Amino acid sequence: MSIEHTDEIAQQATQPADAAGTIATAETGTPATAPTVEPPIAEYTTPGNIDVADDETLYSLLTERIERTGNATTIAARKTGPGAWANITTGEFHRMVLAAAKGFIAFGIGKGDAVTLFSATRYEWGVLDFALAAIGAVNVPIYDTDSASQAERIINDSTVKLAIADNRERFDRLDSIKDHCPSLTRILMMDGNALGALEGMGVVVSDEELDARIAATHADDLATIVYTSGSTGAPKGVELTHRNFLSIVRAGYECLPEMICDNHPRLLLFLPLAHCFARYIQYCSIGSDDGVVGYLPDTKSLLPDLRSFRPTYLLGVPRVFEKVYNAASRKAGTGWRGRMFAAAAEAAREWSRVEQAGGRHGAKATAERATFESLVYRTVRGALGPNIRYVACGGAPLSPDLAHFFAGIGLPMIQGYGMTETAAPFTVTRVGDNKIGTVGQPAPGSSVRIAADGEVQVRGANVFRGYHGLPEKTAETFTADGWLRTGDLGSLDEDGRLTITGRKKDIIITAGGKNVSPIPLEEEIVKCPIVEHAVVVGDGRPFIGALVTLDPEGLAAWLPTVGADAGMSAAAAAALPAVHEEIQRYVDRANATVSRAESVRKFVVLDAQFTQKNGCLTPSLKVVRPAVNRVFSGVIDRDIYAGKR
């Protein structure tokens, strides 16, 4: 590794990294060669490069796999009822993709035309996505939970010509706005045999015409417009090219081969494909040599589906893994089994911490681990399927304690960081370098730096080309020297691993002028098993406060332990002194990590939830902080600050 100081930073963008990567640190002062660019605190470039040829597209992932490995199982589609799967070979999947592509051409979908998929996660989504990619059309996905008005805005902003819904309910949602969408000419429904309809229409399209359309599509063509979930403002259409996705997919094969490529990997996918995180890993699986992806439209029967599909790895947001942990804790109960689970959980976390520190395990810890493995750890792992080897988490901050728990029970928690603007991941921890608390290093050939104000800025082949129809917003998002401003705050360690510490816009400045990062406080409070969400408030106020919502499942299991009815509503439970006392214990733990001026002085337990309907949650379940402050402004004024500023 080489250390480079201020006078060399201006050359950093054009200099290749050495074999160990390059990290640069900046001292006070501005390079004479770049007077308009404030020097970064630190910068890291991962060695290597990811090649994407100009004539390659997302469709190439499928055709290249067929060339390498022939006609093997690629897809598993859930049949009616839990635990039942239909295998689809690479050849059959390819045949459906080509048939749908011909159908789109017959319908009049030209290169660059927009088509919306309004659907839950299912294999037809994958077929249609690859078909659109093959002919150079633009996939504009809509979250299956979006309202009719949200769908209308997206369709009109991107001038969608054709929309495909999965079921009658979402079809009707689209039909209700069709008259307000001038560009939308037709709506199809997957449950109404949309694939069959496209295949029937496509019989008039020759193979030669299809081949010409495929050949006319290139790596730098627009592949998709993905509308951000809007946690910090109105959704914007992120334009991503084929090259953006291909570069980060191939980086995945280099950075995480053990998870994505090796030993017959199987992925059970239940995250929404409208989100780049899920879409990225779909491409990774289909483009690998023998990966199999199972599409799960909902999680109502998740446990039997996990047992029957037998995934080797899973992707989830932090809340998924928090629920797995809390469910295991609740199942253990409060008696001797509960005490054993608590001891086993702490032993797992300590085992992981020792491993991270490069230490050696003592005889007592080794003996305890053998006992806990047979009584606790094997059962927790088994809940995620009998063949599970890895779990990957992204989309929001993950508690280090939770990551240590999963690592300690023998299930490495791979963490990554990215955004829609980077086609999902930008940095990721590696299996052999999974330092908990960090989100890893960039892909080969990509760079990350920390600006003078602490902002994380990135540059690489997977960075988007701009916001649809918003050139001024696009310009604001990039620095003068071409780096993407993420809006997140972070730091780099000596090996270029990134740690995210908060968001620039989330920083709270109290009336006394104290800058407070709310995320670390919130992470501690939500460790409480009866808490669903915690949002710290206090901007311009005399002290820091918090809004807390209750987790119905955790609450139902906890209430009997204090002599209350398990069926009590969250609204009624919010008034119980015992509930406040339990949450206060975790608030105290959070406060112990900060100064008095940064501590939570008062919290309110809400009798309502943060939901997508009230605008407080995005479709990917991120909390929309401005919306929470707006929706619950009366509660904040009345119950925390009593109207005083």
Which residue among 452, 478, 501 closes a domain? 501
| Contact predicate 29/39, CB 8 Å | yes
Same domain as 492, residue 439: yes
| pLDDT exceeds cutoff 80 at 83 | no
List 140's β-bridge partners, or say none. 116
pLDDT value at residue 503 = 82
Q: How confident is the model at residue 206 (pLDDT cuts 50, 70, 90)?
A: very high
Average pLDDT over all residues of the chain = 89
Flag whether 52 is in a domain. no
Q: Which of 20-34, 334-348, 609-623 has the lowest mean pLDDT?
A: 20-34
Same domain as 547, residue 428: no
pLDDT value at residue 38 = 62
pLDDT in tens, 315-339: 988 878 888 888 888 888 878 899 9
Task: Find the mean pLDDT for residues 177-201.
Answer: 97
Query: And the tokens for 230?
Result: 């809007």
Flag whether 176 is in a domain. yes
Flag whether 416 is in a domain. yes
Tell me how far CA of residue 10 lies from CA of 26, 40, 539, 585, 633, in angstroms: 11, 10, 37, 49, 46
Same domain as 433, residue 535: no
| pLDDT exceeds cutoff 50 at 93 | yes
| Alpha carbons 580 and 170: distance in angstroms, whole number | 40
Same domain as 471, residue 338: yes
Same domain as 523, residue 487: no
Task: Find the mean pLDDT for residues 90-95.
Answer: 96
| pLDDT exceeds cutoff 90 at 273 | yes
Same domain as 32, residue 100: no
Flag whether 143 is in a domain. yes
List 415's β-bridge partners, or say none. 393
Count CA atoms within 13 Å of residue 343 on its CB side.
Answer: 14
pLDDT in tens, 360-383: 999 999 999 999 999 999 999 999
pLDDT value at residue 14 = 30
pLDDT value at residue 539 = 86
| Contact predicate 352/405, CB 8 Å | yes
Same domain as 481, residue 524: no
Q: Which of 175-179, 504-508, 577-581 has the lowest mean pLDDT?
A: 504-508
Same domain as 615, residue 528: yes
| Alpha carbons 637 and 635: distance in angstroms, whole number | 6
Same domain as 578, residue 621: yes
Residue among 489, 543, 482 nearest 512 (CA): 543
Q: How confident is the model at residue 168 (pLDDT cuts 50, 70, 90)?
A: very high
Flag whether 645 is in a domain. no
Higher-pLDDT residue of 71 and 63 is: 63
CATH of the domain at 584: 3.30.300.30
Same domain as 431, residue 347: yes
| pLDDT exceeds cutoff 80 at 397 | no
Flag whether 249 is in a domain. no
Q: How confident is the model at residue 11 (pLDDT cuts 50, 70, 90)?
A: very low
Flag whether 235 is in a domain. no
Q: Which domain holds residue 549?
A: 507-640
Flag whether 256 is in a domain. no
| pLDDT exceeds cutoff 70 at 33 | no
| Contact predicate 532/517, CB 8 Å | no
pLDDT in tens, 219-239: 999 999 999 865 455 789 999
Q: Which of 133-142, 200-209, 559-568 has the lowest mean pLDDT?
A: 559-568
Q: The whole model's pTM is what?
A: 0.82
Same domain as 442, residue 536: no
Q: How confident is the model at residue 6 (pLDDT cuts 50, 70, 90)?
A: very low
Which residue among 501, 523, 547 closes a domain? 501
CATH of the domain at 175: 3.40.50.12780
How far is C-alpha 200 from the geometric centre of its chain's CA atoms? 37
Query: In this structure, are strands 160-165 and 186-189 parallel, antiparallel, or unpaired?
Result: parallel
* Tally of domains within the chain: 4
Neighbours of 69 (CB within 10 A): 13
Same domain as 150, residue 36: no
pLDDT value at residue 583 = 96
pLDDT value at residue 229 = 64
| Contact predicate 109/137, CB 8 Å | yes
pLDDT value at residue 579 = 95
pLDDT value at residue 261 = 96
**Residue type present at position 402:** L
Q: How confident is the model at residue 54 (pLDDT cuts 50, 70, 90)?
A: very high
